[in-house]
Structure formats: C-alpha cells, structure tokens
Structure 1
Amino acid sequence: MSVQKTNLSALNVKAGVSPQETISSNAIRQIKEFRKRQPSAQELIDGILTGNITALSRAITLVESTNPAHLEKATAVIKGSLPNANKSARIGITGVPGVGKSTFIEAFGKHLTSLGKKVAVLAVDPSSTISHGSILGDKTRMEELVKDENAFIRPSASGETLGGVARKTRETITLCEACGFDIILIETVGVGQSETAVHSMVDFFLLLKIAGAGDELQGIKRGIMEMADAVVINKADGDNIKKAQLAKVEFNRALHLFPAKKSGWTPIVATCSSLTKEGIGAVWQTISDYIELVHSNYYFAEKRKEQNLFWMIETIDEQLKTHFYTQPNTIELLESTKTAVQNNEVSPFAAAQILLDNYYKK
C-alpha cells in the first residue's frame, strides 16, 4: 500500500478576500489632482514656515531637481525660507560603510526627540556608477525613528557630487531649519571627499569607528582625524567592549599628535553601543559642551560666516560648469574634440583650450 506524500511549501497560494468598494471615485480623482498640482513658491514657503512636512518634502524635491526650469522656483523658496533658518545645530556624522551609522543615528535621534528636540536626518545614499541608481533604504534601517513625529528623515541619492553632498544638501539644511527642526544630522556616504564637503556645512563633525577590524592605527588618517571634533567607537557591546576600550586609548594617543583647533576645543574619544544605548547620552552631552564653548568664544558665528562664503564660491563654480556644458555650440564641438583626444590627434590640454576659446567667443 502506497502512501502519497503531500509536499508542503512556504509559497502556498491562499484564497484572498475581494476588497470592498470603500473609496469613492470622486475621492480618487481629488487625490490625483492634488498630486498633479504644483504648488507655487509662496505656497511652499508658507507650508514650510508652519511646519508642514509635505511642503518641506516637495520643496526639497524641487531643490534636488536637475531640471533647469525648476531652478528659479527653488531659488525663490530658499530665499523665502532663509530669514527663519540658521537657528539649528548642524552635526555631520561619518564613518566607513559597516560602522553602523544608520543604527547610531536612529539611537541618537531617538535620544534627542526624548529631550524634546526636533530632528531632521539628511541621509545620503551612494549612487551606482553603472546604473546611477540608489537604494535609498535609510528609512527602512531607521524604522523606529521614522515613526517619531518629531523626526524627519530624507534619504537622497549622492549622484555625481562630492561624495554625495554639495549645494543641494546645503540648501536642504536651510529648508529644514525654516521648518522648525533644531537639530540637523547629516550622514555622509563615508567614502571619497564627502567628509570634506560635510565638514564645510556643519558645526560639529563626528567620526564613527569600530574596534576589532584590524590594527587601530590603520584607521587614523590625518585628514579625517583633524576634521573630527569627536571620535566615537561604536558597537561597544558584548565581547567587543574590551576591544573598544583599547581602541579608545589608541585614538586618544593619536589625537594628541595633531595641532590645536581654532575653535579652542579639544577633541574627545568615547565609546557607545547603538544597540544597548550605552554612551548615547554622553555623546549628546559632548556636543552640547562644544556648542556652548564655540558660542562663548564667538567661533560659532565666525565659522558660519566662512561656510557661507565657501558655498557662495562653490555655487559660482558649479553654475559656470553647468552653463559651459549646456551650450549648444560647446556640446557639438565637445564630441569631435573627444574623438581627437582619444586618437592622440591633439593633447588633452590643447583640446580643453580649444573648447574654452570657443565658449568665450560667444
């Protein structure tokens, strides 16, 4: 007698329940019309100043747009928001991929909202150099913070900018400040020149490290360490606590080799666990102490002035570059010049001069 075996699978198809017609066609039409309607610059400004997150999101999308037609409107929104900006603490957070930036930011952000702070997180996702796409999964990784009514998370694709941060991130900060967020956290891609760009737009620069990933001195790169106002050894929990303490000693020794900062601040090294929340409160206390110091010695205001000047020059450079590459006569000549350079018929430097001479003749 044979016994027929039943193959069980997790991929069983179960009969569904037919949805009821609970949404009227009129409501659907109104929603579609609302989404299609483009609010004016003044409507976006009014919404941002009243704390409307939808208006803030749409304004950021406008700022991030590469459509030249959106530039004038985006500029008007920024101009209207500027008088209500510059009242936040801007904190840059960087570290190599895998250091736990998203987990740290969620734990840190939740700590800040528990203190009554309004927190905006500008998370930059690296763009593929092949497909030019980004996953934009920061909201998924910060599943608790994203549900907090006092938090706003905006993931953005890095695109082709300096490691993922440039003028658009700088202007997004302005919009978030005008919307009432008093703490702005900027997460870098963690590679390339993004750290330099972030450092030029924040008040406090936090470097996340992990222990047990090899010789700790390998992680001490002079440029990034000189920019850091604090080094935090993340994942200091379980069997990793001892390693984290040893790493803390190594980094403390290294920091004493660097010149003193113009701010008068002495960078600190700390440990924390984003999982157990151990040390998270101490990190905020360190940042608070720094902010108090630089306000008292007027370095805070001076640094903001230097950053504004820096971004003015950067914006000019960017606009000139964009204007050059979008001129019809430049586009036409560029293709033939590229071929000549590739075939060694003309040097790259001479080719560049030909293109620039052609551009200046206009």
Structure 2
Amino acid sequence: MPEHPLTAALLAGERRALAKAITLSESTRPEHEAQAQQLLAEVTPQAVPSIRVGLTGVPGVGKSTFIEALGLHLADAGHRVAVLAVDPSSVRTGGSIMGDKTRMPRLTVHPGAFIRPSPSGGALGGVTRRTREAIALCEAAGYDVLLVETVGVGQSETQVANMTDLFVLLTLPNAGDELQGIKRGIMELADLCVVNKADSDPKAATRAQTELTAALKLLTPAAASWRPRALQASALTGAGIVEVWNAVEAYRTTVDVAEKRRTQTALWFDELLREAAWRAFQAGVDTGRLQQLRAEVLAGTLTPVQGIHALVEDLTSGKKPHT
C-alpha cells in the first residue's frame, strides 16, 4: 500500500497537514475512516514524547484564558503546544460554535502552538475517539504538550481523564457554593486543582485553596505515588502559571505515565469493541421483531429486560433477519 499523501508533511510538523489529518479522522464516511487509520498507523510510531493535560471547570472559570496563559508560557520556553478544545454540539441542530480560537487570540498566532476546536457531536464515545486520534496526530506532528479543554463540569470529564496523563480542575475564589455543585466524581478525577482569577480576591482565593486542600485529603488519589494538590493562579496577570507547570512536571516525574497510558489504551480498545459489538448487533436484529418486542414492552406484557433477552436469543439461536 502506498504511503498516505499527508504522512510526510505531518511528520515534518506542517500545521496545515495536521489540520487536514484531524478533519479526516473526524469524518464519519467509511472511506475517510480507512484513510485516517492508515495515516495513524504510519505516523504513530514516530510520535514525539509528550505530556497530555486535561482541563475542566465550570463555565466562567476562565478555562480558555488560563490555557492561553499556560500555552504562551510553554511555547515561549520552546515547547510545541497543541490545544484540543471540545466544543459542545447542539442537541437540536448538531451544530457547534467553535469559538475557542477567538478566546485565545495571542496563542492562535504563536508559531509554536496549534489550536483545534472539535465538535462533541452530542456523543461521549464520539468525543473520546476523535480526541484520542487527534492527540496521536498532534504528537506525530511534533507537539510535546497537549492541552485538552473539556466542555465543562459533566459526564465527559471522565472520558477526557481517561485519555490524558494529568487532569486539572479549575475553580474560582469564593468557591464554597461552587464546590457543592461539583460532583464528587469530578473531584476524584483531579490530579491538580487551580483557583483561577486569584487576583480578583486574594483572601477568598487563599480560603478556596485551603478548602480544596482539605477536600482533596478526604479522597482516594488515583495514583498512590501522587497526592493531588491545590494551587492559585491568575491567567490575567500570569501569577502562578509557572508554579502550575512545575506541579505538572513534578507529577510527570512521580507517576508512571507509561503504565497509565497502557491502561488507557486497554480502555480505549474495550470502548471500541463495545461500539463494534453494538453495530454488529444492530445489523443482525430483525427490525420487525424489534418493533414487535418494543410494542410489547410499551404495552406492559414484557419487561424491558425480557424484551432484550428475547432479541439476544433470536441472534444466538441463529434466526435470520427478515428481508
């Protein structure tokens, strides 16, 4: 099979080639999926060592501003920084605003940075697959720092935490009530908590940091070798940005990131297996029989579990779908 047309340019670090490659990987057309998988197979073995950082926080916490401040600090220091921002898709129209570049104007034009907003597509599995492949493509293009911004505090954070090395939760000063609204599961995912906009109310920021530190001590850390910590920062003034990155570096040298990635790859494989099994199940189900069982469930003559068992029995008994 001849080499994919984008392979050489992507490995040379050309941003246009990277953008095209990610677009290809996001396509749902079967022929594009085959091309994307060929490209990934060719470039992944040559990917550069990297650190993958996931970031989340409630709306208004300043995620984009914080990422721009951190990204500029790293890019100016010689790192190549890729920002993958997952944009929520409308459940009604399927569209996304895709406005992350406008919120990071200085980082967008930095030669050492690449920003890619991607639509969530309304499906968590879709986010996971697209973002994982975008991460691999960015690493192949020579980006050694990957910053993955999530849509906000919600279910997708678990998905993003399972594809990054370090997960950062951004909060605000006067966050007592806010902390009550953050699910315990999100707190358990956090390897690092950062009180952003600390310059707006220094006393409140210190109080929030103290509260976060106390809360983190009550949770079981994801890695036995790392105790999650809380810091302060101001994306507006740049205060605390260096300390945040120092904490990321400390995490990187403390935790076995390679083993964590192997575990994540196994989870990814299992997710894809479930998707493939579901597609195969749908292809083998007799639609007439499905509608019949659905009607019986709605009528109350079968429980939902009984209806599913009946479908599975049809498949395992070798009954052919009606044509």
Give the TM-score normalised by the residue count of structure 1. 0.81
Residue 301 (structure 1) aligned to one of 236, 258, 261: 258
Aligned twin of 1:268: 229
Local SS of the residue matching 2:277 = helix
Please say if 1:259 is aligned against 2:220.
Answer: yes
Please say if 1:248 is aligned against 2:248.
Answer: no
What residue identity is the alignment partner of 1:181? Y
Deviations 1:291-332 (A, max 9, x none): 1223xxxx122112111111111111122223333x285555
Distance (whole Å) between structure 2 residues aligned to residue 330 and residue 106 of structure 1: 52
Aligned twin of 2:184: 222
The answer as to whether partners of 1:164 and 1:188 remain within 8 angstroms in 2 is no
Where does structure 1 differ by over 6 angstroms across 4 or more consecutive aligned residues? none
Local SS of the residue matching 2:6 = helix
Residue 121 (structure 2) aligned to one of 155, 159, 174: 159
Deviations 1:149-183 (A, max 9, x none): 11111111111332873122111111000000000
Aligned twin of 2:152: 190
Displacement of 1:50 after TM fit? 1.0
The answer as to whether partners of 1:146 and 1:152 remain within 8 angstroms in 2 is yes
Displacement of 1:195 after TM fit? 1.4
What residue identity is the alignment partner of 1:310? L
Pair 274,45 (structure 1): closer, same or farther in 2 beyond 3 Å: same
Local SS of the residue matching 1:66 = coil
Distance (whole Å) between structure 2 residues aligned to residue 179 and residue 192 of structure 1: 30
Displacement of 1:259 after TM fit? 3.0
Aligned twin of 1:125: 87
Q: How does 1:91-240 map to 2 (within 5 A)?
A: 91-162=53-124, 165-215=127-177, 217-218=179-180, 221-238=183-200, 240=201
Distance (whole Å) between structure 2 residues aligned to residue 247 and residue 114 of structure 1: 30
The answer as to whether partners of 2:40 and 2:136 remain within 8 angstroms in 1 is yes
Please say if 1:284 is aligned against 2:240.
Answer: no
Residue 349 (structure 1) aligned to one of 280, 305, 320: 305
The answer as to whether partners of 1:146 and 1:153 remain within 8 angstroms in 2 is yes
What residue identity is the alignment partner of 2:267? F
The root-mean-square deviation of aligned C-alpha atoms, in Å, is 2.2
Displacement of 1:111 after TM fit? 0.9
Aligned twin of 2:276: 319
The answer as to whether partners of 2:175 and 2:208 remain within 8 angstroms in 1 is no
Displacement of 1:359 after TM fit? 4.4
Pair 207,191 (structure 1): closer, same or farther in 2 beyond 3 Å: closer
The answer as to whether partners of 1:158 and 1:164 remain within 8 angstroms in 2 is yes
Local SS of the residue matching 1:134 = coil
What residue identity is the alignment partner of 1:342? L
Pair 114,249 (structure 1): closer, same or farther in 2 beyond 3 Å: same
Deviations 1:112-152 (A, max 9, x none): 11111100011001111122211111111111111111111
Displacement of 1:273 after TM fit? 0.9
Pair 70,358 (structure 1): closer, same or farther in 2 beyond 3 Å: farther
What residue identity is the alignment partner of 1:316? L
Local SS of the residue matching 1:94 = strand
Local SS of the residue matching 1:278 = coil
Displacement of 1:212 after TM fit? 2.2
Displacement of 1:251 after TM fit? 0.8
Distance (whole Å) between structure 2 residues aligned to residue 148 and residue 243 of structure 1: 34
Please say if 1:90 is aligned against 2:38.
Answer: no
Deviations 1:46-90 (A, max 9, x none): 221111222211111121112223222111111111101261100
Distance (whole Å) between structure 1 residues aligned to residue 288 and residue 112 of structure 2: 51
Give the TM-score normalised by the residue count of structure 2. 0.90
Q: How does 1:16-55 map to 2 (within 5 A)?
A: 42-55=4-17
Displacement of 1:202 after TM fit? 0.9
The answer as to whether partners of 2:153 and 2:182 remain within 8 angstroms in 1 is no
